[in-house]
Chains A and B, each alone.
Chain A
């Protein structure tokens, strides 16, 4: 159950952080701890709600540290660790890094099975059921309070909700995303379209795609995935955008074998075969469309904003070349994200140290990953609209800092920012359902004579079985 393979970017690293500033927030939190545990010196308090005693000596291991290849991000990580040490001199942060994506599904599954995850481990929102099945994560509800995570109240409750099970909290978010329509501004201009007004309905998308494909030279107007479960993932996004669903409210039945589903399938089929605006190469998976749009071979596709940072850093694309609009249809959009969880069974002090670190690195406005001034100074991107899980006061402050330090034309994302679409989580048993829906996508996109009704009804039967097998 995960979007892992779908989200290949290393998110924590991708949006990064900071110059060496003082630790106001953290220091404050350290003070309150000593106020709180006045009668309790030496090693940690047994009260989970009490923050970590700064004197506690403890070592925590954590994965998804930036790899050496990402020098700037690694530098920032090290700076953050050094700064963290000023408050907690005895806490050792032992980072582990991976050059590719932090989380590869086979490795992740194996790791959980073996209970070989580090003390603090990186997961996607959708991984929670799997982690719980393997008894892998500690219930940290009691540890996470407004003392240990001062900005807790400003974190979007929808984001936190995806880390809860039966009311218990199992992780702290590092980033979140909602899907929108990513466009190549250069191709829009060449095709005589207005890049500042990305298409807002699927009919407009179809018309625009046709124009862009008309440029010739192997350029596709609109691209879609159809392999490695990413096809099913995006089919889900299409359904949501039109107000449809994948699984009905009971959680037992497929909900896409209907007019909405047929509309999605017919539109894509028509774009692929009647308009020939979706390119010849199909069976694409996450990473392939990014390569196409980065080389100006693709006009639009559905993506999360952080794909842009990925394309610029890894594929050598330029920020100016991209723009974003909300997901066409705008009924609802697929939302997700990633987070850190804490290994079950480690000591209370370790848990507290882990939460203190995560709070500092990922959940403090102006610090860690939200230190936009440092990010800019290190030549990393600032101005991509997500991750953004803040509300209220924190949001205002963070948005202001982003704008002030923006390294890219933020106006290109204006349509996306100004038209928020309600986020909707992935269906249960997501990966298994996506596998089934991959067939629908690949059928539409590779078979000119595809029988759409049959593809959908077969898939619906299969999804019903997947749901019945839980």
Chain B
């Protein structure tokens, strides 16, 4: 490891330092494994217990019964493939909208500096101060009957996509990053006759890849985690997200089937994450600071 951190290398090199390091390291690795993988083990294994064992006091560490049909029943009753597809559809749609509209807006605010730009940015940032949950009621009423166009967006993906664009934090992050791109470069390109779109596309975006990665992850995770909003705006069960689908299900099935359902619902993204973890993690950290 090249970078110097809190504890001095000299201290670590000493025999006592080494011992302490090893102990702490061992403890932390074991502890973290238990804390973060333990619940997952519990979830997967409990999903195999029969309906009696799953609520036995005291609980069993290793399933004594084996009821794999919990999983097939869970799969049937909750129609996971639809829910998962819906969630991804909403998430990536929202991502596309945010990338196009918010990047364009941030670019305009940062580099083109139009009249009233500051006021617009200020008004956007002001929305950060308003808790999303406070706005749920009036936003819901708006989605039911969008002003001017008079459309009801209930049960359509637009009810998720369009409000997701109003993410002032994303605009703010993008704008800050764009601010740091030297203006002279853009001016030079403009002198060469490049249009603003071209400048955005071939100069700004390529150097902004890290921040775009961060923003994308936030966008997808945001939809992935949302609960109250999709619950209200997507009443049609065939259009619901995974979160809302599991919630609707949770009361109506036995405990072991519910736990099996939780496992199934968690698996796809866990697998995706394990496969792409390098990209996701480096996207998150690199985008944050390393440039």
Q: Answer whether A and B touch in the complex at a CB cut-off of 8 Å.
A: yes
* Contact surface of A with B, Cβ cutoff 8 Å: 8, 67, 69, 97-101, 104, 106-107, 110-111, 113-114, 116, 217-218, 280, 286-287, 291-292, 294-297, 314-316
B166 CB to closest chain A CB, in angstroms? Answer: 20
Binary A-proximity of B73-88 (CB < 8 A = 1, otherwise 0): 0001101000000000
Contact assessment for B141 and A113 in the assembled complex, using a CB-CB cutoff below 8 Å:
yes
Residue of A nearest to B59 (CB): A218
- CB contacts (< 8 Å) of B232 on chain A: these are 106-107, 110
Residue of A nearest to B73 (CB): A316
Contact A314:B248 (CB < 8 A) given known A113-B141, A116-B144:
no
Contact assessment for B144 and A315 in the assembled complex, using a CB-CB cutoff below 8 Å:
no
A447 CB to closest chain B CB, in angstroms? Answer: 22
Contact assessment for B235 and A99 in the assembled complex, using a CB-CB cutoff below 8 Å:
no
Contact assessment for B248 and A99 in the assembled complex, using a CB-CB cutoff below 8 Å:
yes
Stretch of B17-25, B48-56, B203-211 with 4 or more beta carbons under 8 angstroms from chain A: B48-56
Interface centre among B77, B140, B237, B248 (most CB of A within 10 A): B237
Interface Cβ pair total, 8 Å cutoff: 68
Is B152 in the interface zone, CB < 8 Å from A?
yes
Extra 5 A-B pairs, beta carbons < 8 Å, given A106-B231, A110-B232, A111-B235:
A107-B231, A110-B235, A287-B252, A295-B255, A316-B254
B72 CB to closest chain A CB, in angstroms? Answer: 14
Contact assessment for B237 and A217 in the assembled complex, using a CB-CB cutoff below 8 Å:
no
**Complex Cα spacing A114 to B154, Å:** 10
B284 CB to closest chain A CB, in angstroms? Answer: 33
- CB contacts (< 8 Å) of A98 on chain B: these are 235, 237
Is B249 in the interface zone, CB < 8 Å from A?
yes
Contact assessment for A291 and B231 in the assembled complex, using a CB-CB cutoff below 8 Å:
no
Contact assessment for B252 and A110 in the assembled complex, using a CB-CB cutoff below 8 Å:
no
Contact assessment for A116 and B51 in the assembled complex, using a CB-CB cutoff below 8 Å:
no
Tell me the residues in window 19-66 of chain B with beta carbons closer than 8 Å to chain A beta carbons. 51-52, 55-57
A101 CB to closest chain B CB, in angstroms? Answer: 8
Contact A316:B235 (CB < 8 A) given known A100-B249, A116-B154:
no
Contact assessment for A100 and B57 in the assembled complex, using a CB-CB cutoff below 8 Å:
no
* Contact surface of B with A, Cβ cutoff 8 Å: 51-52, 55-57, 76-77, 79, 140-141, 144-145, 152, 154, 231-232, 235, 237, 248-249, 251-255
- CB contacts (< 8 Å) of A110 on chain B: these are 140, 232, 235
**Complex Cα spacing A348 to B77, Å:** 39
A-B residue pairs in contact (CB < 8 Å), sample of 17: A99-B237, A99-B249, A101-B252, A107-B232, A110-B140, A110-B232, A113-B140, A113-B141, A116-B152, A116-B154, A218-B55, A218-B56, A287-B252, A292-B55, A295-B55, A295-B254, A316-B51
**Complex Cα spacing A113 to B145, Å:** 11
Contact A114:B141 (CB < 8 A) given known A67-B237, A106-B232, A217-B56:
yes
Residue of A nearest to B58 (CB): A218
Task: Pick from B51, B55, B76, B252: contact of A100, CB below 8 A.
Answer: B252
**Complex Cα spacing A217 to B141, Å:** 51
Residue of B nearest to A286 (CB): B251
A456 CB to closest chain B CB, in angstroms? Answer: 30
B42 CB to closest chain A CB, in angstroms? Answer: 17
Contact A315:B254 (CB < 8 A) given known A98-B237, A100-B248:
yes
Residue of B nearest to A10 (CB): B252
Residue of B nearest to A279 (CB): B57
**Complex Cα spacing A114 to B145, Å:** 8
Contact assessment for A315 and B231 in the assembled complex, using a CB-CB cutoff below 8 Å:
no
**Complex Cα spacing A100 to B251, Å:** 9
**Complex Cα spacing A52 to B79, Å:** 40
- CB contacts (< 8 Å) of A113 on chain B: these are 140-141, 144
**Complex Cα spacing A314 to B235, Å:** 22
- CB contacts (< 8 Å) of A67 on chain B: these are 237
Interface centre among B56, B79, B253, B254 (most CB of A within 10 A): B254
**Complex Cα spacing A106 to B254, Å:** 24
**Complex Cα spacing A69 to B251, Å:** 15
- CB contacts (< 8 Å) of A315 on chain B: these are 253-254
B194 CB to closest chain A CB, in angstroms? Answer: 48
Sorted nearest first, the 6 A-B pairs with minimum C-beta distance are A218-B57, A100-B248, A287-B251, A114-B144, A99-B237, A314-B252
Residue of B nearest to A288 (CB): B251
B196 CB to closest chain A CB, in angstroms? Answer: 41
Interface centre among B152, B231, B235 (most CB of A within 10 A): B235
Residue of B nearest to A69 (CB): B77
- CB contacts (< 8 Å) of B248 on chain A: these are 99-100, 104
**Complex Cα spacing A123 to B55, Å:** 34
Residue of A nearest to B233 (CB): A110
- CB contacts (< 8 Å) of B79 on chain A: these are 99
Residue of B nearest to A114 (CB): B144
B21 CB to closest chain A CB, in angstroms? Answer: 43
B262 CB to closest chain A CB, in angstroms? Answer: 15
**Complex Cα spacing A106 to B252, Å:** 18
- CB contacts (< 8 Å) of B55 on chain A: these are 218, 291-292, 295, 297
- CB contacts (< 8 Å) of A316 on chain B: these are 51, 254
B241 CB to closest chain A CB, in angstroms? Answer: 14
Contact A314:B231 (CB < 8 A) given known A67-B237, A114-B141, A218-B57:
no
- CB contacts (< 8 Å) of B251 on chain A: these are 8, 100-101, 286-287
Interface centre among B52, B57, B140, B145 (most CB of A within 10 A): B57
**Complex Cα spacing A114 to B142, Å:** 10
**Complex Cα spacing A441 to B51, Å:** 28
Contact assessment for A294 and B254 in the assembled complex, using a CB-CB cutoff below 8 Å:
yes
**Complex Cα spacing A368 to B76, Å:** 28
- CB contacts (< 8 Å) of A292 on chain B: these are 55
Contact assessment for B52 and A295 in the assembled complex, using a CB-CB cutoff below 8 Å:
yes
- CB contacts (< 8 Å) of A280 on chain B: these are 57
A221 CB to closest chain B CB, in angstroms? Answer: 15
**Complex Cα spacing A69 to B79, Å:** 10
A313 CB to closest chain B CB, in angstroms? Answer: 9
- CB contacts (< 8 Å) of A100 on chain B: these are 237, 248-249, 251-252
